[in-house]
Amino acid sequence: MPSTPENDPLDALPSLLSARPWQVAMIGLGMATAQLDTSVNIAFPAISRGFALSIGEIQWVVICYVLTYASLLLAFGRISDTVGHAVVFRAGLVWSTVALLLVGWSPSFGAMLFFRGLQGIGAALVLSCGVALLTSLYGEDRRSHALGIYTMMLSLGWMLGPLLGGALTAAWDWPSVFWFRVPIAVASLLFLRGVPASLRRQATDRFDAVGGVALGLGLVTMLFGINRVRELSAIWLGLLSALSFAAFIYREKRAARPVIAFDILTRPGFALLNLLSVLINFAAFSVWLLVPYFLARVPFYSLTESGAILAMAAAGAALSAPIAGRLAERRISTKSLAISGAVTNGLGLLLLSAWTEQTPTFLRITGLVIQGAGLGFFQTAYADIVTAALPLKDRGVAGSLVLLTRTFGTVTAASVVFLVFEILSSDYGFLVGFQKTFQFAAAMAFAAAALSLLSHRRIRDPS
């Protein structure tokens, strides 16, 4: 029967576009423009050939991007709380679209690094709003469930990046790992509809630009100093970071609307909670740093198979995160979920420390999935505690803080874990060095669990 104005299927399109699953999918696509940056790592050899780079030079492709978005997350989180999360999210998608096109077009390595910095700005704009947008869709009574979905989507992007990057680079060379995200950003921009409006803006809601600049400078010099920890320049970067943070604290104590309320940062329990997140992500990122080198030594694994095995860590996190959200929603203590996640993460790392050349693939995958599952539990619980501790009007700041501590952990691991591994492998050989380094990483995860037990009375538990 032909369609009539009364039963035209197109009439249902607006309601479909405003349905919650569709909105969640579009927010997830938008965040994927940043999380799929793990596809760039697999393209490093191709980028090196394209610009005739050494191994030491290729690290700047990551440094320029990570330092930019990490230093801007909290500031953009505050801006999104001020002008509206959907507005900032869409601005980030537009910015990311242009930046991704420019990076893939880069005529020189210098231009590429500049455009990677621009891409980092777009990533910070998008990621600073993810938690706020998702929790607004579900409401405060289902906040834990929303954060489980949020952690799952971040993990899926982390998992799919290397898998897609390898295939795209093989087919269309390294620019494709940037360009394939352009239609993803455009789709999210065009089809995201019906997101709840942000809280009504007050006359005093003005972004503290001076505090934001001081905070950004403090973060970027700290992260860069951690990256340069083996060099003398790390001392000067540390001093500049300390001065910047001192200026930030001085400013925030006097600002009518600080970037982040100073009193929350000085609460011992809350400060320790964020340190625990850094420790857990420090331990977890050792997987992405060292496991690829181990798998490359296994003669019967192809590059595709090695990438699929490595992706099982992120798959474990993607599977466990929504489960953690459901458990928290059913009034299971988020403190208990965080501790169990830290312990499970440590157990997975211990399983990895037992790898030898004869370890069956099934056991390797099992260890990676367990480690990832523990990370998914911890990340979801941690995000829930942070968002409950900060006022609803600061939801953008809360989500940005969750990502910032994660970034601190990974940047620190990139410097310290490699240093530990190099020292141990030079003394004991690759295999023993690998095993002892993962024992060290597991000890960090267990230490985080122990500290969490000691601090549970000081941390506000939303359960």
- Per-residue pLDDT for the chain (463 aa), expressed as one digit of tens each? 444 444 443 343 343 344 578 888 889 889 999 989 888 877 877 888 889 877 667 778 888 898 888 888 888 988 888 888 889 999 999 999 999 999 999 999 999 999 999 999 999 999 998 888 888 888 778 888 888 888 888 888 888 887 888 788 888 889 999 999 999 999 999 888 777 665 555 545 566 677 778 878 888 888 778 777 777 878 888 898 889 888 888 887 777 677 776 666 666 677 788 888 999 999 998 888 788 888 878 888 776 788 788 889 989 999 999 999 888 888 788 888 999 999 999 999 999 999 998 899 999 999 999 999 999 999 999 888 888 877 777 778 888 888 888 888 887 887 788 788 888 988 888 899 999 999 999 999 999 998 877 765 554 444 4
Nearest to 209 by CA among 263, 257, 264: 257
> How far apart, in Å, do the first and last CA atoms of the chain sit?
54
Cα dist from 414 to 232, 257, 275, 347, whole Å: 18, 35, 17, 21
Q: What is the pLDDT of residue 201?
A: 56
Q: Is 94 exposed, middle or buried (0-12, 13-18, 19+ CB in 10 A)?
A: middle
Q: What is the pLDDT of residue 345?
A: 96
| Location of structure tokens 């989500």 | 399
| Cα 322-324-326 angle, rounded to 5 deg | 70
One-character DSSP codes across 73-118: HHHHHHHHHHH-HHHHHHHHHHHHHHHHHHHHH-SSHHHHHHHHHH
| Cα 237-238-239 angle, rounded to 5 deg | 90
Q: 233-252 vs 209-227: helix axis angle to the nearest 10?
A: 160
Element of type H or E holding 441: helix 430-455
